[in-house]
A and B are shown apart, each in its own frame.
Chain A
Amino acid sequence: GNSVTQMEGPVTLSEEAFLTINCTYTATGYPSLFWYVQYPGEGLQLLLKATKADDKGSNKGFEATYRKETTSFHLEKGSVQVSDSAVYFCALSDNAGNMLTFGGGTRLMVKP
């Protein structure tokens, strides 16, 4: 079945540092890939997505590129802020688009 593997956290960075959170996946067919973010005390919300190979999703300074050859969808941001502190989840859709499979989540802590 489908699965998503993320780097374990927490990831602790200073403000304005470069961020990479690794995500690799196993899936049949051609899934869509997503990054969701969960701020403290809230539900998850979509951060960005990519629906086919080589697509780049971007939002709020975050980017991720759908790499089919390496089955990866790494999240990057050039300069993190304290307000980016949250838990980040990588996810993929099944072929029918009926459900998402999530990774274990990576907690990011940004210090001023």
Chain B
Amino acid sequence: NAGVTQTPKFQVLKTGQSMTLQCAQDMNHNSMYWYRQDPGMGLRLIYYSASEGTTDKGEVPNGYNVSRLNKREFSLRLESAAPSQTSVYFCASSAAGGLNTGELFFGEGSRLTVL
């Protein structure tokens, strides 16, 4: 029962470097999400994918790109990392039917530090 799996769990980057956070879910969920969590600010949505083949911007998309590779996988890319992107990143997924009645299932998080 893996659920939502994120890699890597920890990463340290230098300003200007690029990296990709990987996320995979094995629950056959249609929708997938990337959030960032910062102290006192809760979780903020970066991008989401309501279904395979579609992606949409969330609240804080600047500096990020995403790819919905297939139904299982949704990656988040930082092309040129900045210290302001130091955060804990969470991937989540949900079944079809929307979040009004469903729930989000979260991965364990990826802690990223940009020096």
Contacts and interface: CB of A to CB of B under 8 A. Distances in A.
Interface of A: 4, 6, 8, 31-32, 34, 36, 41-46, 49, 51, 89, 93-94, 96-105
Contacts, number: 70
6 contacts: A41-B108, A44-B90, A89-B42, A93-B98, A98-B56, A98-B99
B99 A32 contact: yes
A98 B48 contact: yes
Given A98-B31, A98-B56, 20 more contacts: A8-B40, A32-B99, A32-B101, A34-B103, A43-B4, A43-B90, A43-B107, A44-B43, A46-B103, A51-B101, A93-B98, A93-B100, A97-B99, A98-B50, A98-B98, A99-B48, A101-B45, A102-B35, A102-B42, A103-B42
B33 interface: yes
A102 B43 contact: yes
Interface residues of B, number: 30
B94 to A, nearest CB: 9
Contacts of B58: 99
A44 B42 contact: no
A105 B109 contact: no
